[in-house]
Amino acid sequence: MENKDVVVSVKDLHVNFYNNNRCNRVLRGVSFDLKKRDIMCIVGESGCGKSVTANSIMGLLPELSRIESGSIDFYYQGRDIRIDRLKRKGKEMRELRGSGMAMIFQDPMTALNPVFTVGYQINEALMYHNQAKTKKEADQMAVQLLKDMGIPLPQQRVKEYPHQFSGGMCQRAMIAMAMSCRPKVLVADEPTTALDVTIQAQIFELMLELKNNNDTAILLITHDMGVVAELADRVAVMYMGNIVESGEARAILTRPAHPYTKALLDSIPVLGRGKGQKLEPIKGSTPDPYNRPKGCQFAPRCPYATKECETAMPGEQTIEEGHMCRCFHNLLKGEGI
Amino acid sequence: MATYTLRKVLSLIPMMLFISFLIYLGIELMPGDAVDFLIPPDALATMSAEQLNAMRESLGLNDPFLVRYLKWLGGLLQGEFGYSIQSGVPVATLMKNHLPATIELTVTALVFSSVFGVLFGVLSALKKGSLIDQVFSLIGMAGVAIPQFLLGLICINAFALHLNILPAGGRMASAGQSFVERLPYLLMPALVLGFSLTAGVMRYARSSMLDSMGRDYMKTARAKGIPEWRVNLLHGLRTALTPVVVLIGFRLPMLIGGAVVIEEVFQWPGIGSLFVNAVRSQNTPLVMMIGFFSVLLVLISSIIVDIVTAFLDPRIKLS
């Protein structure tokens, strides 16, 4: 272990999906480290592999998919666990899920089972990871968890069903469930996309608080740059199965090196700049995953592309301390970096 | 719940009145009347118009349609089911003699088809695309496609004539015989009927389970780290069960009239053959009574289905 604070280390991860006798190479060499108490954001367009990366860590990839190569190390209770080698539905993986690492999802209204009470669904996590010995103890803990999440009347609320909760409440209940065993890693897959903006802020505040209290590392998947600016310590920008740029949030947001990152930032309206601001949509659309460009995946849409870009995918280059970019023409070159 | 049930039961009354009137009207609209079927054709030729008219008069067939319907209704309200025009036997006695046989047959078939339908359907869903899924699909298709009478005859030929391990038909009177002794008679008709019913439940359970398995909450359950069997059988099956229960619930009316073909093939002395004969000979009191109970069972089943679904799915409110 190079760094004591690293909780999850993903190295050169390749994941393929197999569908109708075709192979979709969804992840094509993803590497990053997730550190204790860090919030790392993965951003990118739909279909670029953000969720797959998250699911790989949780061992929740769909049936017809496989980790082809690379490694995922999870440093937990003094051990180095190779998640990529564990059976997805096996006992070891199951014991990690929910206790060592937990996940919350995009749409809290559908992520809770409609036919069980919220309390019951929280209890399940507590009982299976031996956080509570008896049902009664679990019930009390569930009430306390809901209370910690700022849900009013928790005694009553645990006995209610998800459809009696609002979206924001459901997500709080989901977070309560995820945090019930004090995991080292929380994977949040677009946790606020389905919620009101005002609720969003509350949910993020809650996540921050929990992170600080429990030393949890958070892997936050989003395509909301506002969220990134607000929360992220580190950012990884993904495009077509690769991390094309990663680094400190501030560096990425203020001085993007990869044309794709720049394009993403240029396509977002900025509050307060008025109606006059010019939004630049990214030209074209993401390529068909079964018919990818030969070289750099972004080349066909990139204004800076040259012949070189069509021949090979550029490798990972450290352009400054902690700032990685995969581009032949990184935009900071001009600045002498 | 109690008020809901009470209100539903009360709403049955006007519905039953209306439907019984429709059945009565249906019989009325058929050509001929009971007397035509009461007398053998050769005897009919020798009888005079007065004689026939006197017979009609004595059976009350000369009254206007509405009067006859109201008389029947009045009798029903006093608990008087009337007499079979053909045999003169009280309808109540006929029902009492034939109903147990039919219920015995249909309950066995329903239980069989529900249990195995759900079991195989869930298994198919869990092993989607595997050999076992395809085999079950094939069997299910066969169950739907092969007519009951054909399958019945094939089974009689195989198990009764060639293998000689089961009786070809009939039913042992329930008095004095133990269930085990009577079982061989029940086995073949019940299984043939059950087989054709299984397919529907199976396909339904399979698609419902597949739908449930694709839901987000299944992933949440997995992310919690609970064992796979619990994810599938508790979170998956519990939600998948509701539509299946509705399907099974709406099969309850079969209890009375659902086995006509099978009863004919296996000489099963149930209500099915009684009903067919009664309709054929315009035996109004008998047709009315069997029809009345069938309809009542349909309506009661729908109330039961409502209550059970509200119990299974907390999102559904009885109102």
A182 vs B: CB within 8 A: no
| Helices B271-280 + B91-126 axis angle, to 10 | 120
Residue to test with chain B: of A18, A57, A81, A124, most B Cβ within 10 A: A124
Q: In whole angstroms, what is the distance from residue A177 CA to residue A97 CA?
A: 12
Place B284 in a pLDDT band, splitting at 50, 70 and 90: confident
Residue to test with chain B: of A110, A115, A126, most B Cβ within 10 A: A115
- Any idea which of A95-99, A215-219, A244-248, A268-272 has the lowest mean pLDDT? A268-272
Which of B219, B227, B314 minimises the CB distance to A115?
A: B314
Mean local confidence (pLDDT), B84-112: 84
Of A44, A286, A60, nearest to B219 by C-alpha is A60
Which of B223, B312, B315 minimises the CB distance to A163?
A: B315
Of A161, A91, A103, A162, nearest to A129 by C-alpha is A91
What is the pLDDT, as a whole number, of residue A304?
Answer: 85
Instruction: Please list every residue in chain A whose beta carbon sits closer than 8 Å to the beta carbon of residue B125.
Output: none
Place A1 in a pLDDT band, splitting at 50, 70 and 90: very low
Decide if A116 and B221 are in contact by the 8 Å CB cutoff.
no
Cβ neighbours of residue A20 closer than 8 Å, sequence gap 6 or more: none
- Any idea which of A109-118, B24-33, B49-58, B97-106 has the lowest mean pLDDT? B49-58
Decide if A177 and B224 are in contact by the 8 Å CB cutoff.
yes
Residue to test with chain A: of B128, B210, B224, B239, most A Cβ within 10 A: B224
Q: In whole angstroms, what is the distance from residue A73 CA to residue A28 CA?
A: 18
Q: In whole angstroms, what is the distance from residue B148 CA to residue B166 CA?
A: 18
Mean local confidence (pLDDT), B281-295: 84
What is the pLDDT, as a whole number, of residue B64?
Answer: 80
Mean local confidence (pLDDT), B143-161: 85
What is the pLDDT, as a whole number, of residue B208?
Answer: 93
What is the pLDDT, as a whole number, of residue A334?
Answer: 65
Place B175 in a pLDDT band, splitting at 50, 70 and 90: low
pLDDT above 80: residue B177: no
Cα–Cα distances (Å) from A199 to A109, A167, A170, A252, B242, in that order, read 14, 9, 11, 27, 33
pLDDT above 70: residue A152: yes
pLDDT above 60: residue A337: no
Which of B219, B238, B315 minimises the CB distance to A105?
A: B219
Decide if B217 and A112 are in contact by the 8 Å CB cutoff.
yes
Name the most confidently modeled range: A104-113, A273-282, B93-102, B247-256: A104-113
**SS3 of chain B:** CHHHHHHHHHHHHHHHHHHHHHHHHHHHHCCCCHHHHHCCHHHHHHCCHHHHHHHHHHHCCCCCHHHHHHHHHHHHHCCCCCECCCCCCEHHHHHHHHHHHHHHHHHHHHHHHHHHHHHHHHHHHHCCCCHHHHHHHHHHHHHHHCCHHHHHHHHHHHHHHHCCCCCCCCCCCCCCCCHHHHHHHHHHHHHHHHHHHHHHHHHHHHHHHHHHHCCHHHHHHHHCCCCHHHHHHHHHHHHHHHHHHHHHHCCCCHHHHCCHHHHHHCCCCCHHHHHHHHHHCCCHHHHHHHHHHHHHHHHHHHHHHHHHHHHHCCCCCCC
What is the pLDDT, as a whole number, of residue B50?
Answer: 78
A129 vs B: CB within 8 A: yes
**Mean pLDDT over the full length of chain A:** 86
Instruction: Please list every residue in chain A whose beta carbon sits closer than 8 Å to the beta carbon of residue B221.
Output: 113, 124
**Mean pLDDT over the full length of chain B:** 83
Which of B220, B312, B314 minimises the CB distance to A111?
A: B220
CATH 1.10.3720.10 fits B94-282, yes or no: yes
Which of A110, A125, A128 minimises the CB distance to B217?
A: A110
pLDDT above 80: residue A191: yes
pLDDT above 90: residue A302: no
Place B125 in a pLDDT band, splitting at 50, 70 and 90: very high
CB atoms within 10 A of CB B179: 9
pLDDT above 70: residue A336: no
Q: In whole angstroms, what is the distance from residue B44 CA to residue B60 CA?
A: 19
Boundaries of every domain in chain B: 94-282
Mean local confidence (pLDDT), A47-51: 87
What is the pLDDT, as a whole number, of residue B173?
Answer: 65
Decide if A89 and B221 are in contact by the 8 Å CB cutoff.
no
